[in-house]
Structure 1
Amino acid sequence: MTASSFFKSAFIFLFLFSQNAVVLAQVVPVTSPDGRINLLVSTAGQISWQATLDGSIVIEKVSMSMTMDKDRVLGIKPIVKKVQVAALEELFEPQIPHRDARIESKFNEMTVDFKGSYQLIFRVYNDGVAYRFKDHSKKTTTVYGEELSLQFPEGAGSFFPKEESMYSHNERIYLHKPLTALGQDDFCSLPVMFESKTSKVLCTEAELHDYPGMFLRHVGNGVLKADFPKYVLKAVDNQNNSPDRNQIVEEEADYIAKVSGSRSYPWRVFMMGDDDRVFLESNLLTQLSGPSKISDASWIKPGKVAWDWYNANNIYGVDFKAGINTATYKYYIDFASENDIEYVILDEGWTKSTTEIMEANPDIDIKELIAYGKERNVGIILWVLWKPLDEKTEDILGLYASWGAKGIKVDFMQRNDQYMVSSYERIASTAAGLQLMVDYHGAFKPAGIEKIWPNVINYEGVKGNENNKWSSDVNPEHNVTIPFIRMAAGPMDFTPGAMANAHPKNYLISFDRPMALGTRCHQLAMYVVYEAPLQMLCESPTRYKKEQESVDFITGIPTTWDETLVIEAKVADYVLVAKRKTKNWYVGGMTDYTPRDFELKLDFLGSGTFSMEIMKDGLNADHHAEDYKRELIEVNQNSVVPVHMVSGGGWAAKIVEKIKS
């Protein structure tokens, strides 16, 4: 994914020790390039570190170690052999840019070599810190555990995505509460955000390869420790609950991973700042992930998708019976073609059964549909359960590619153990060889393979719009929380675009005819705010045809970006962001249940005159959520535009340079 990279190294100091020498410095400082973040690494007794921002403690203490092959522990009673600190720079040009097309990365890196054939690497950026273990022993076969103990300053709080089990879709509400209010053994998936009086920290991981995903467990008194799913020895179908997709882990090992000798382990990442905008602008996860394994990614085509499952194929006013059949999907394809929507997904139901996935439902002619879409410049993406796909990956993907499908949507993984993490990458690799894109649903968060395999073009792992079918969980406050936390890890398949919009007083739950909390412009703004190179339109095409003005606005918004600029932002309260694609700018604003007013200065525009199309909450949007107003005005870099959002509201705009005649 790196088009070019370069390194400028300046070694600040270098200590060399014999095995029996006394370590000269048991506490070693490393600072960020701008000098604001200071990392103090201690090697006394056990490796630990503390982080400060402008002199204030952000993370009180992190201690860590790894237990390998039962009797070998990395990080306890460490003996330092060598310390190197270097100032480094890198330049990234991602093949599929989620946030920025050009990423200039500066960081200070400390590499510590220890007796016992292992290293710790620390990196300090202007927006966070990260560390990873490297084991150089060729004899290592097993990882029994990895310790990470995390302690924050007194009074710290969290936005905590509490999990009930490690067998999970990782779709959670972020519980905002003090750390001391967490229950004993409450645990969460990643990413998770912590806050103190002066700053916030987002904890996640990068370069997660062939290793289990990490959880954090509250062990009491505000202290959290890493927890990992054990290596799965035996998983069986859950005969009492959808055995085609749900499993029961019957037998686990007493270790978390099998390994083959020397290797690097995942980055433990701590994004931090005293301005909430940092969590929307940071590219830390991209900077910490490895290079692409796809040399030519030109076949990977981001775009928008007409999606069937949310709206339950609820089309009407047609001369055929709507449902999972060829005529219905031709209707979706026609709608996509008429609106320059690149793809249509055939979700659950298109196969003969959920486990017989190499044959289509008898009511669907899959080859005819793919050919019909090709004639109309619409690609077809096929939903598939992970379990049968994992069993016959090459055969199934080879068949889908031979039909002409453009990608797959893989669902119901629900695990983070080593086998599952490796399965993600194996499927991605096989799909890449067949030029198939991958959208992981029922998934854990992005953690690096989307850079190594950029055909992995989206992830769910978020409580998104589909929850409208059975709950009221997805509300405006949740919607302005997830960009700062879940999206900090990478793109998210939230599936926006609901046209049935409501406030709490008139919100109704319906599985087949769902509605979304918040205004119409709240949904429209998601297409700018939410990062998703493969971005859904969740509503029924029939409903969209009645809302052509909204559809035209949505389809005119890109799904990848050249530059991201955050104007105003506060976690769980509001966001106002501007994004550039070539010379055009797009602005999205969203608020929680508090009405908001901002002044949008357009000083980020270049010289010249621009046409600005605005979609804003209508005068009556405070009680009728579907009310909006479209405006077209002329602006330049000196213009200041008022932004008003009602409770649960939104605001969105396209800014296009006017061509002189």
Structure 2
Amino acid sequence: MLFFRITCLAFLFISCSRGNQSELQTGEKKQGSDSIKKQVVVQSPGGDYDLILGIDSKSESLVYAVRYQGGDIIDYSELGFLSDIPGTEALDLVTEEIVHRQVSSRWKPPYGTKKEYPENYSESLVKLHNAETGQPVYDLRLRAYDEGVAFRYEFPKNNRKITIERELTAFSLLSDATTWTAINSQGEITKAPVSSLKTSGERPILIKYTDSLYLAIGEAAQINYSRMKLNSHGTHKLRADLGGTVSFDEPFVSPWRFVMAGKTAGEILENNYLILNLNDPSEIGDTSWIKPGKVIRDLTLTTDGGKAYIDFAVKHNIQYVIESAGWYGNEFTVEADATTATVDPNRSTGPLDMAEVIRYGNEKGIDIMVYVNRNQLEKQLDDILPLYRSWGIKGIKYGFVRTGDQYWTSWMHEAVRKAADHKMVLSIHDDYRPVGYSRTYPNLMTMEGIRGDEESPSNAHTLKTMFTRMIAGAGDNTICYFAPRVLKMGSHASQLAKSVCIYSPLTWLYWYDRPETATLESGGAGGNKPVIREVPELEFFDKVPTTWDDTKVIHSQVGELGTIARKSGRDWFIGTINGETDKDITIPLDFLEPNTNYNATIYFDDPEIPTITHVGIEKITVNSASSIKRNIKGNNGLVIHIFEK
């Protein structure tokens, strides 16, 4: 049952604007709760979370705190801006009104990690105005979900252009806790105490308080606002670091800042639909044209090669072939023309008859996508979208995009909306990170912002990615299988496991590989020309879907071990990735339907198997009382397909 504990319905706030830059304590000792006055408490419907808003009478700062299951997880922390907002410099802000509501609903996405998502939260909208002039200044919208808490700043009325120079939002932790983050979206994720984060780190950031308490801090719905990163500010505090100033002259809202908690990192990952819930519902009425699936890229950039990839896609249940970088010329020049199929001679001997490849794909039931670099997107987007639709192209991978500051972030999301108008599914590659916008525009199906297989991450690093970056949403990892780097990263069975563990509604497979029938004298990425061999375990890639009806995280030892089980129809697919040390693992199958027998096919690394990939296959019978126990070697993996007898 919902209730709000509000100690005062009209209470005094001191602004945190340019004229008043007093700071909270930096975390060397815990903020004293006796200095916090005039609190508003928003409690989640299930009672696990309290989001508390108040005023610190010592620092004269607007502050908030977060409690989880009765204990503090975020101590009182600053809110507000350094800005040119008029009428707030060293003046009092008072609440004009506090509006409360509660939402309890469920919604079905066109694709996702679950068949439907719950959306249950309590909300308070605190409207602030200037005490002297009576003019509205900004509002704070506070939400407590069953999965976490979130808040954002809102500017409902503006009579002039406003510029936010810096955001004062902070996250005061209770100790110098362990974190996992990276300095950029494709950088190495490192484990370090809060106090050492002197360079701004990526969000979401994962924080470990104890073996049974984890936090994640990040942002959602960052659509027309500079990106937030996080750095240390004192021993125990993280502070928002924006990727530039933010200006606006009309009603405006900031992104959400969220805090999630769980007993394990896996519990937070299971609940990551919170980021989707913090975005607006879909603006696309008919989503029937938005088709998830597996993708393979044509490295040859020739007509015959494209047809060979299409034939392979038919044989191996792959839904898309994408014409790779270079199909329209040198992508890194502004002169290249993405309205013509004029291959880059440094990448392919050609010729590429795009119309014939598209026609052949239609005949075989395979859709064609294309890659387009930002050099062409920025000058030709409005031309290529209707053109590609007229050609019969179904999707685009936007490459090397510019994001981070307000201008390019806004431009990028406008490009998503324009693509939806022309029924194009999208992957955004390189520096874009998910913010939940796929709920509002589900044609944005996947995105990079990930240290994927192009960077040859070790299994241990992938196990950090799974429980940090993947909290934010889908990740275009570009799984490879026959390239030499596979053994540098881990093993072939752990590559199979990535198709389950790294969620992506568009999943790129065989990133550096080509069918045997594709012309070897043409094309290649970075000099790679590995050939796809018809080894038995490819049947797993053939069968694995890319979207799911349910998801359960079984093991979540960050950097050490991860197991995720996902349901599609009545089948379950399980992926396990192991870190550097050998482990004895147990995978309980209590999520299966009771009183039902299933077949299980297990794929695992075995150096004795006489194939080039050394993957063994075992078939067993299981039920909901079964557990699968295995000794898994360091840097190995396994996958399991479970289906009814």
Q: Are 2:465 and 1:482 equivalent residues in the alignment?
A: yes
Q: CA deviation at 1:338?
A: 1.6
**Matches of 1:377 and 1:192, distance apart in 2:** 41
Q: CA deviation at 1:358?
A: 1.1
- Provide closer, same or farther for how the CA distance between residues 42 and 463 of structure 1 changes in structure 2, counting only shifts above 3 A: same
**Matches of 1:517 and 1:175, distance apart in 2:** 17
**Matches of 1:70 and 1:82, distance apart in 2:** 20
Match of 2:22 in 1: none
- Provide closer, same or farther for how the CA distance between residues 10 and 150 of structure 1 changes in structure 2, counting only shifts above 3 A: closer
Q: CA deviation at 1:430?
A: 1.5
Q: Are 2:321 and 1:349 equivalent residues in the alignment?
A: no
- Provide closer, same or farther for how the CA distance between residues 275 and 209 of structure 1 changes in structure 2, counting only shifts above 3 A: same
Match of 2:258 in 1: 269
**Matches of 1:214 and 1:29, distance apart in 2:** 26
Q: 1:491 aligns with which of 457, 464, 474?
A: 474
Q: 1:577 aligns with which of 556, 559, 564?
A: 564
Indicate conservation of the 8 Å contact 1:29/1:41, yes or no: yes
Match of 1:235 in 2: none
Match of 1:551 in 2: 538
Q: Are 2:458 and 1:458 equivalent residues in the alignment?
A: no
- Provide closer, same or farther for how the CA distance between residues 331 and 72 of structure 1 changes in structure 2, counting only shifts above 3 A: farther
Match of 1:340 in 2: 317
Equivalent residue letter for 2:314: S
Q: Are 2:180 and 1:159 equivalent residues in the alignment?
A: yes
Q: CA deviation at 1:444?
A: 2.1
- State the percentage of identical aligned residues: 27
The correspondence of residues 415-454 of structure 1 with structure 2, limited to 5 A, is 415-454=403-442
Q: CA deviation at 1:437?
A: 0.6
Equivalent residue letter for 1:114: L
Q: Are 2:515 and 1:541 equivalent residues in the alignment?
A: yes
Q: 1:380 aligns with which of 341, 355, 368?
A: 368
**Matches of 2:580 and 2:392, distance apart in 1:** 45
Secondary structure class of the residue paired with 1:80: strand
- Provide closer, same or farther for how the CA distance between residues 550 and 361 of structure 1 changes in structure 2, counting only shifts above 3 A: farther
Q: CA deviation at 1:57?
A: 3.0
TM-score, with normalisation over the residues of structure 1? Answer: 0.83
Q: 1:121 aligns with which of 141, 144, 169?
A: 141
Q: 2:242 aligns with which of 219, 223, 228?
A: 228
The correspondence of residues 55-454 of structure 1 with structure 2, limited to 5 A, is 55-73=70-88, 77-97=92-112, 99-116=113-130, 117=136, 118-145=138-165, 146-163=167-184, 170-183=185-198, 186-197=199-210, 199-230=213-244, 256-282=245-271, 283-308=273-298, 313=299, 323-354=300-331, 355-361=336-342, 363-454=351-442
Q: Are 2:614 and 1:614 equivalent residues in the alignment?
A: no
Q: CA RMSD in A?
A: 2.7
Indicate conservation of the 8 Å contact 1:15/1:82, yes or no: no
**Matches of 1:486 and 1:276, distance apart in 2:** 12
**Matches of 2:68 and 2:288, distance apart in 1:** 41
**Matches of 1:299 and 1:516, distance apart in 2:** 39
Match of 2:527 in 1: none
The correspondence of residues 495-510 of structure 1 with structure 2, limited to 5 A, is 495-500=478-483
- Provide closer, same or farther for how the CA distance between residues 140 and 571 of structure 1 changes in structure 2, counting only shifts above 3 A: farther
**Matches of 1:84 and 1:569, distance apart in 2:** 39
- Provide closer, same or farther for how the CA distance between residues 269 and 624 of structure 1 changes in structure 2, counting only shifts above 3 A: farther
Indicate conservation of the 8 Å contact 1:591/1:647, yes or no: yes
* The 10-residue stretch of structure 1 (189-198 or 577-586) with the greater mean CA deviation from structure 2: 189-198
- Provide closer, same or farther for how the CA distance between residues 16 and 605 of structure 1 changes in structure 2, counting only shifts above 3 A: same
**Matches of 1:158 and 1:570, distance apart in 2:** 14
**Matches of 1:590 and 1:75, distance apart in 2:** 54
Secondary structure class of the residue paired with 1:427: helix
Secondary structure class of the residue paired with 1:383: strand
Q: Are 2:634 and 1:647 equivalent residues in the alignment?
A: yes
**Matches of 2:148 and 2:388, distance apart in 1:** 42
**Matches of 1:554 and 1:221, distance apart in 2:** 46
Q: CA deviation at 1:12?
A: 6.3
Match of 1:527 in 2: 499
Q: CA deviation at 1:526?
A: 0.9
Q: CA deviation at 1:638?
A: 2.2
* The 10-residue stretch of structure 1 (88-97 or 582-591) with the greater mean CA deviation from structure 2: 88-97
Match of 2:65 in 1: 50
**Matches of 1:624 and 1:54, distance apart in 2:** 52
Secondary structure class of the residue paired with 2:188: coil
**Matches of 2:236 and 2:3, distance apart in 1:** 39
Q: CA deviation at 1:593?
A: 0.7
Indicate conservation of the 8 Å contact 1:162/1:172, yes or no: yes
**Matches of 1:112 and 1:549, distance apart in 2:** 60
Indicate conservation of the 8 Å contact 1:193/1:203, yes or no: yes
- Provide closer, same or farther for how the CA distance between residues 140 and 625 of structure 1 changes in structure 2, counting only shifts above 3 A: farther
Indicate conservation of the 8 Å contact 1:281/1:564, yes or no: yes
**Matches of 1:228 and 1:614, distance apart in 2:** 46
Q: CA deviation at 1:151?
A: 2.2
**Matches of 1:77 and 1:649, distance apart in 2:** 60
Secondary structure class of the residue paired with 1:492: coil
Equivalent residue letter for 2:74: I
Indicate conservation of the 8 Å contact 1:12/1:85, yes or no: no
Q: CA deviation at 1:627?
A: 2.3
Match of 2:623 in 1: 636
Q: What is the aligned residue count?
A: 586
Q: CA deviation at 1:483?
A: 1.2
**Matches of 2:292 and 2:196, distance apart in 1:** 42
Equivalent residue letter for 2:481: A
Match of 2:31 in 1: none
1:212-250 residue CA offsets vs partner (Å, 9 max, x unmatched): 1112233443433222223xxxxxxxxxxxxxxxxxxxx
**Matches of 1:261 and 1:46, distance apart in 2:** 26
Indicate conservation of the 8 Å contact 2:2/2:45, yes or no: no
Secondary structure class of the residue paired with 1:59: strand
Secondary structure class of the residue paired with 2:159: coil
Indicate conservation of the 8 Å contact 2:367/2:394, yes or no: yes
- Provide closer, same or farther for how the CA distance between residues 324 and 76 of structure 1 changes in structure 2, counting only shifts above 3 A: farther
Secondary structure class of the residue paired with 2:435: coil
Equivalent residue letter for 1:121: R
1:480-505 residue CA offsets vs partner (Å, 9 max, x unmatched): 1111111110100011142346xxxx
Q: 2:52 aligns with which of 29, 40, 43?
A: 40
